Structure 1
Amino acid sequence: MAYQNIDGVLVWGQPDESAVSQAKTCAATGSVVRTLLMADHHKGYSQPIGGVVVYDRQISPSGVGYDIGCGNKAVRTLLHADDVKPRIGRIMDEIARRISFGVGRVNDERVDHDLFDDPDWDVYKALGKQEHDKLKALAREQLGTVGSGNHFVDIFVEQETGRVWIGNHFGSRGFGHKTASGFLNLAEGREFLGKAPGESMDQAPVLFDLSSELGDMYYRAMKLAGRYAYAGRDYVMDQVLAILGTEADFEVHNHHNYAWKETHDGKEAIVVRKGATPSAPGQIGFIGGSMGDISVIVRGKDTAENRDACYSTVHGAGRIMSRTQAAGKMNWKTRTRSGGQISLRQMQDAVQAFGVELRGAGTDESPFVYRRLQEVLDAHAETIEVMHVLKPIGVCMAGADEFDPYKD
């Protein structure tokens, strides 16, 4: 087996002490069946990124996190590299111009969707008219916006065939964030829309019994936020396909910040994956690397180790340097940064050497702040197989100093 058992926590890859400590706290809190760390793990809020906690009849809003339904979508297009590479600069200019990165929207286009008639909006009606109206308005305003942080729209070339792929990564934006903070408020007896003090990094998970009123309401709200995230990624993907003037002939779409009802060891359980991708046997996933690294399409294996992993795998390469370490401390009043280990020139040289046309992004998302993706894939070789290796030729993200309270 490629994992270690550290005080009851199953750990893939090189253990990060702070993340392992958080995972031990998770394992000791509530009705826990199993606690796991994928090879891209690092410290998060309450539950580590790359952490998987399996509960018996409980769900954790702090475990799912603020960006409910954050995930990846990738499509293979009908185009080949020679169709795209000569015009990649113009393509990336158009993506940056037409698609909304950061907190706002770059155009006045109103994005409507059947989602806004979903019966699970009744959860917010039950909380109050103000809660319902405010969150629904925010959801309408931000549907199809990518946000900032590590969220992206990329153009790839498949190494095996030269086929062109598109990938995107983002979640439920402000709607998901306010849903998460609202239920964390309710758990502490505060008003749903009240000011939330924020979580302590090392606090124990917040848990609801799924059979309780709050647990049922959160589960329904989380699923709605997940459908909202899917709708946003679909919308952005359609925009990029239109820019390229092509269609998709294959797609893969998955969350990695979510809670699923699944059966493990013959019993139904709630599997909370924060920064971890489902990998049931035959299930296909898209795992992104940094802007200067490969990304991959993978498929879950039917192995004992994958069963031990509760059919979970990595969601990316995993950070090895914090945003502040990389880019320095930001003063939002003066909009200046101080400190930082990675310079803009270092980042530009690295992505240029890798053959990437970059739009936006700060040094806190440079290749230097992430592990190499192959390292974490190797740690999960017994649980997933790599179907396609994708090399980025175009990367678009929010600008370096874009303020977005919903970015992660």
Structure 2
Amino acid sequence: MNGKHITKLGFTNTSIGLALAAAQLREDTGLGRQAILDELSAVKSQPAAYQTGEYAALAHELLAQQTHTAFHAADALRPAALPYAQFGAELIEANARAQMDVAMQLPIARAGALMPDAHVGYGLPIGGVLATENTVIPYGVGVDIGCAMHLSVFAVPPEHLKTAEALHLLQKHTRFGAGIGFERRERLGHAVLDEAAWDEQPVLRRLHDKAAEQIGSSGSGNHFAEFGAFTLSAPEAGLEAGTYLALLSHSGSRGFGAQVAGHFTKLAESLHPALDTSARKLAWLDLGSEAGEAYWQAMNLAGRYALANHEQLHARLSRALGEVAALSARNSHNLAWKETVNGEELIVHRKGATPAAAGQLGLIPGSMADPGYLVRGKGYAPALGSASHGAGRQLGRKAAQAALSKSVVSAYLRDRGVTLIGGGVDEAPQAYKRIEAVIAAQSELVEVLGEFRPRVVRMDSGSEDI
């Protein structure tokens, strides 16, 4: 008996040596070559029946190979992307569509849509909506888990707050930037910090103190808090149509959410090593698994924490103004939800997309100098009940810094009567698509209820401030 006889039976790699060793044991008992070959053939076809005796080691190896093969097959991409709706296709770059195509090739994908503000992200494009079956993709939610918008409209005219006072209030009562938070004596408590979930996972226990230090603060990049004029088109929630002073904020779950995203993305990638490189950042977790349940818990905690940051920001500034919001709205736009799609419960990931179920209020901002909108969702099924989360970038950060000058951006702000604290050229209005075109491209998805015009804006202060 030699290796040639073994390979003819279809044994490969390490199973060849194990088959030869087993054959030698059988030869030692006086069994003939053909009988041994017949036994080996039987082991190869039914390894589970030979897990004891001389063929045990070979059978265990063959079973492991079967599991490995099945594991790899489960990660195989579809040969072609499932169809998905695109809104404002003329506004969407080809690279974002290419990313969405890969997402729709995932074996777990069931439905999807691309919003008019879509642009390239990590894994799922920003502005992408993806429905999967009983699985969650950490990078389908994004790094800034629970990133959200919050609007407070006060029943006073915009002129009630002068520019100098608005500047003072934003500088005194908000904090922006990586690693930034309020001083200990200035922090406000919040119920989200006392939730039992923090003690149920090591990663959450480790991040609790960071979350407590940064509660009520905002991040860098495109996060902002701004006072402006809000024009309501028709009565809403007891507030008459008209133009009012309003506060709009955009922020997320800070360093806590980012570290949760990083932790579970690495875990998901480790569980899907055979996933095509084009889809590596779309690695998923099964919701029925311990890892999937842990991420779902952490994701939702981060979402609640992000909303708590907005609550504190608006509470501080409302108190300083001496006004109570007559109308308020908020929504998360980096999260996953369990929703019914085509009669089936699926996990709907919105990475930079606003939930827009029928009757649901949402906020779609423009840029530091362009309008934002309060909208009511129409629950449009092809969009998976979603809308854009903003204008969407048309220039990446480095491209914006290379193409735009501080003087050009400053002139744009000055022409629109906007005063800016912080903010860099990478966040210039010219780096974004025209919000008016983005809104026009989603008339099937939302109804516009009101328009917010920024007047005094605060963002993170970096080395490239305008």
TM-score, structure 2 as length reference: 0.76
**Match status 1:370 vs 2:454:** no
Residue 295 of structure 1 pairs with residue 372 of structure 2: yes
After superposition, give the CA deviation of every residue in 1:263-292 in whole Å (9 maximum; x if it has no partner).
121111110000000000000001110112
Structure 2 residue 151 is the aligned partner of structure 1 residue 89: no
Q: Quick one: distance in 2 between partners of 1:402 and 1:216? A: 41
Equivalenced residues, count: 367
State yes or no: 1:385 paired with 2:435: no
Aligned to 1:154: 226
Change (3 A) 1:83 1:279: same
Distance in 2 between residues matched to 1:202 and 1:16, nearest whole Å: 19
Within the candidate set 264, 284, 295, 2:361 is matched to: 284
Give yes or no for contact 1:98–1:106 (8 Å, CA) kept in 2: no
Match of 2:385 in 1: 311
> Counterpart of 1:48 in structure 2: which amino acid?
P
Deviation of 1:145 (Å): 0.9
Does structure 2 retain, via aligned residues, the 8 Å contact 1:252–1:286? yes
Distance 1:402 1:230, change over 3 A: farther
SS in 2 for 1:159: strand
Instruction: Pick the aligned partner of 2:253 from 172, 194, 199.
Output: 172
Letter in 2 for 1:102: G
What is the CA–CA distance in structure 1 between the aligned matches of 2:332 and 2:440, rounded to whole Å? 22
Unaligned runs of 5+ in 1: 1-5, 191-199, 328-339, 404-408
Please give the per-residue CA displacement for 1:105-146, whole angstroms capped at 9, x wherever unaligned. 25332332221221222432xx3xxx3443001110111111
Matched residue, 1:107:
183
> In proportion to residue count, which structure has more helix?
2
Distance 1:362 1:64, change over 3 A: same
One-letter identity of the residue aligned with 2:209: A
SS, match of residue 22 in structure 1 = helix
Q: TM-score, normalised by structure 1?
A: 0.86
What SS does structure 2 have at the residue aligned with 1:325? helix
Equivalent in the alignment of 1:30: 107
In the other structure, the counterpart of 2:456 is: 394
**Superposition RMSD on alpha carbons, in Å?**
1.9
The CA deviation string for residues 315-337 of structure 1, in whole angstroms up to 9 with x for no partner, is 0000000111112xxxxxxxxxx
CA distance in 1, matches of 2:355, 2:269: 31
Deviation at 1:402, TM superposition (A): 8.2
Aligned to 1:53: 130
Residues in 2 aligned to 1:123 and 1:186: alpha-carbon distance in whole angstroms: 18
- DSSP-derived class of the 1:149 partner: coil
Partner of 1:322: 396
**Distance (whole Å) between structure 2 residues aligned to residue 55 and residue 71 of structure 1:** 22
Matched with 1:256 is 333
Note the C-alpha offset of 1:189: 4.5
Q: Is the 8 A contact 2:230 2:245 kept in 1?
A: yes
Partner Cα distance (2:205, 2:285) in 1: 25
Distance 1:201 1:180 in 2: 19
Counterpart residue number, 2:22: none
Identity of aligned residues (%): 36
CA gap of 1:176–1:204, structure 2 versus 1, over 3 A, is: closer
The answer for the alignment partner of 1:195 in structure 2 is: none
Distance in 2 separating the partners of 1:67 and 1:301: 26
Contact 1:29 1:204 in 2 (8 A): no
Contact 1:294 1:373 in 2 (8 A): yes
Distance in 2 (CA, whole Å) between partners of 1:236 and 1:51 is 28
Once the 2 structures are TM-superposed, how far is the Cα of residue 250 of structure 1 from its aligned partner?
A: 1.4
Structure 2: which amino acid aligns with 1:280? Answer: A
Query: Could you say what secondary structure the match of 1:203 adopts?
Result: helix
The structure with the greater share of residues assigned to strand is 1
Amino acid at match of 1:140: A
Q: Separation in 2 of the partners of 1:347 and 1:239?
A: 30
In 1: Cα distance, 2:168 partner to 2:100 partner = 42
Q: Quick one: distance in 2 between partners of 1:401 and 1:134?
A: 31
What is the Cα deviation at residue 364 of structure 1?
Answer: 0.7
- Between the aligned partners of 2:214 and 2:104, the Cα distance in structure 1 is 36
The whole-number CA distance in structure 1 between the counterparts of 2:155 and 2:129 is 36
Cα pair distance change 1:89/1:203, threshold 3 Å:
farther
Residues 269, 284 of structure 2: 8 Å contact kept:
no
CA drift of 1:27 comes to 0.6
2:152 matched residue in structure 1: 75
Matched residue type, 2:223: H
Residue type of the alignment partner of 2:319: A
Letter in 1 for 2:170: I
Give the whole-Å Cα distance in 1 for the aligned partners of 2:204 and 2:388: 35
State yes or no: 1:231 paired with 2:312. no
- Indicate conservation of the 8 Å contact 1:123/1:220, yes or no: no
Q: Deviations over 1:152-204 (max 9, x none)?
A: 001121235121111100100000001111112223459xxxxxxxxx88635
Structure 2 residue aligned with 1:116: 193
* C-alpha separation in 1, matches of 2:253 and 2:170: 20
Q: Distance in 1 between matches of 2:191 and 2:230?
A: 34
Asked whether the equivalents of residues 356 and 393 of structure 1 are also in contact (C-alpha less than 8 Å), the reply is yes
- Give, in whole Å, the separation in 2 of the partners of 1:203 and 1:188: 7
Does residue 138 (structure 1) correspond to residue 225 (structure 2)? The answer is no
Partner SS, residue 336 of structure 2: strand
Q: Kindly indicate whether the alpha-carbon contact (under 8 Å) linking 1:155 and 1:164 is maintained by their aligned counterparts in 2.
A: yes
